[in-house]
Amino acid sequence: MKTEWYQHPTRVIQTNLQVRDTARIEPQRLAGQIKSLGANALVFNLGGIYAWYDSQVEGHHVNEFLPAGRDLVAEVIAACHAQNIRFIARFDFSKIHDEAYLQHPDWVARDQTGSPRLIGAERPGGWSLLYHTCMQSPWRNEAGGAQVLREAVSRYDFDGLFYNAPFPTDCWCDRCRSRYEQLYQNPMPDDANDFDPSWRSEQMRDNALLLRKAVKDEKPDLPIILYYWDEQIRYLDQPVAELICDESQNILSRGRSRLSADWTPMVRMQLCQAAQPDYRPFGIIHSSPGMDWRHTGLPPAEYQYWLSQVPAAGGSLWHSLTGIPDTILDQRILHSVRIVNAKAKQVESLMETASPYTEAGLLWDGRPQDHGWLQALSDAHIPYTLLQQEIVSHRQLEACQVVIVPSGFTWSPHLIEAIDGYVRQGGHLITEGRLPDTSDTLRELSGLHASQVQSEPLTAAYLRLEPTGHALIPSAFNEVELLPLRGSVTYARADRADCLATLVPSFAPLEAVGAPPERASLPASRTKIPLITRNQAGSGQVISLLFSLSDLINEFGLHDHLVLAEQLIRSQINRPLVHVSRQPGIQMTVFRCRDAYLLHLINGIGKRPLSYLNPVRVTIDLPGLAADRIKARLVFTDQPLAVSDRDGSASLTVELPDAWQAIEMNQID
């Protein structure tokens, strides 16, 4: 059976081209450079804001720096194909030039006052103004985008097609106002934050389907690549693209206080795979610290750490560079690209048929509460998967030994039914916060009384592990009597559930915590108010947290909160595959591939942004597997790893000299 090129792992380089550098593009040299950097696909500008060929579509601005008498696009495609490099054409219909606006003012997006939305009004230099286009306009549809695509697809033999900036610009033109009112039976709000949640997705879906038809009418087998957007699962009932990509930008120019979470590329790859499970997603990583500093590079250590997460999470790596190799001003970028591409190539044969291994499932909708649990799972190196309630199935739940539902999660009837079956058939569940009042099923699972009351925000309060709690996590807090607690809690009575931890109420208002007499005593050092409970339901078990542990992790990041989360999760995992020594900053993914397991370790130890990569030694224990039953090797160097015995289980010690290490483990019969 024939497989398409995009069904295999791919290493992509995107050259974000500047039109004034057109004369410096030598097709044969460019293709050779792309190959030497370890890539097997090139994303090259073709149309939209600029046409990089002699387009005949009205309003399609032709790059004025194109060489006379030559077809640059055709030459680059031929040079790439000669080097066995796939050519992916890039289109962007989100903006038009000012001369097109003068001829077609109805193509542009407008603000609440009706004024056109333009970009670059204060840009220095001799550049044209650009105008944001309206998603409902002829340019984004039949008169522009569809015609350009038909023209380009019929003229050139490229291997894939990528839409940049496919999302709608917020627009208050008469056309948009009319459609909004027709869809939602209400006038369009003046504040975009008040738009119906489906509004942007409605526009994007319709536009993507129209453009898809224009492409497929010409070449039915040409794959389309489209950005993942969070509403994709919720609002799409038919495919609009074969492939999904996502930008996991590491935007250091926003400042150290606003760094992206260290697990961002891995999480985004998981979300893409959930939305489009048939093909591996592309992870786009920008080489710059931000678009405002796009002519410089990320610190090499930080860059390699970010890049390595994409293939280690099962994605295809897509490098986004400013210009071609000859115009890049920070050549360290190319060194990092070459290093990570070489490693990605080495694991491709194993990852070709690999499937993720998981022990914990996290219900995910992108809120901060999700992030706290994600940090706990990541720091503890527990293999996890993200579950989205719109598509969660019994099969996905059954693959998880424990499922976590963060506080404030909106439970759908479908999810409640799926969780009920999962628990009663032997699954383990951790819930956080107050359960919905309307669900008898969840109250039955939790073993809590129907009457629940939310407290005021508490400060200077504590959590006390009861004897049953210490029995559940026997060693983590042997010498600890109280754990810090802040925020609202849910007052509930444990009808059938065991009480694992109780509330120690606030000993003083916040302004008095440092003054006598409160600082010397706890007016109520013990209560019977449950904060953590455990209930047996069918063959499964439910742990209920009546406070938000995830909020505590997010806000304070205290070690004890992270350890409590880890221990609660691990207590519900009966068959752990692997334990990695706890070293925050190291991320782990695990895949099943053929008859082996493949472990990826990503080294981000140090203060971010990373200024250098810290070599580190990691211990990997395989509980329940004897040392003489395991054979292991380092994939990148093809060196065998010594497997020793520790307390009756196999144990390995692994060196991480740089950003990424991969270990293949086979069980010997």
Task: Give me the residue spans of the domains in the chain.
Answer: 8-95+134-354, 360-570, 579-667
- Note the pLDDT of residue 550: 96
- Note the pLDDT of residue 518: 62
Cα–Cα distance, 549 to 194 (Å, whole number): 30
Three-class SS state of 140: coil
Lowest-confidence pick of 266-270, 390-394, 623-627, 649-653: 390-394
- Note the pLDDT of residue 416: 93
Fold for the domain defined by 360-570? Rossmann fold (3.40.50)
Per residue in 432-460, pLDDT (tens digit) is 998 887 789 999 999 998 888 999 999 99
Tokens of 50: 């600029």
Highest mean pLDDT among 2-16, 42-56, 500-514, 574-588: 42-56
- Give yes or no for residue 239 having a pLDDT over 80: no
Cα–Cα distance, 295 to 321 (Å, whole number): 9
- Quickly count helices (H) and strands (E) in the chain: 17, 32
Per residue in 50-103, pLDDT (tens digit) is 999 999 999 999 999 999 999 999 999 999 999 999 999 999 999 999 999 999
Per residue in 569-602, pLDDT (tens digit) is 999 999 899 999 888 899 999 999 888 999 999 9
CB distance 376 to 404 below 8 Å: no
CATH classification for the domain delimited by 579-667, as one of 2.60.40.1180, 3.90.700.10, 3.40.50.300, 1.10.3720.10: 2.60.40.1180
CB distance 593 to 351 below 8 Å: yes
- Note the pLDDT of residue 236: 61
Domain 8-95+134-354 has CATH 3.30.465.10: no
Tokens of 395: 């099969």
Looking at residue 62, the DSSP 8-state letter turns out to be B
- Give yes or no for residue 230 having a pLDDT over 70: no
- Note the pLDDT of residue 514: 78
- Note the pLDDT of residue 392: 85
- Give yes or no for residue 113 having a pLDDT over 70: yes
Tokens of 386: 């993200």
- Note the pLDDT of residue 7: 87
How open is the CA angle 284-290-293, to the nearest 5 degrees?
130
Looking at residue 367, the DSSP 8-state letter turns out to be -
Looking at residue 512, the DSSP 8-state letter turns out to be G
Cα–Cα distance, 458 to 524 (Å, whole number): 14
Residue 59: alpha-carbon gap to chain centroid: 36
Q: Where are the alpha helices (DSSP H) in 500-610?
A: 549-556, 559-570
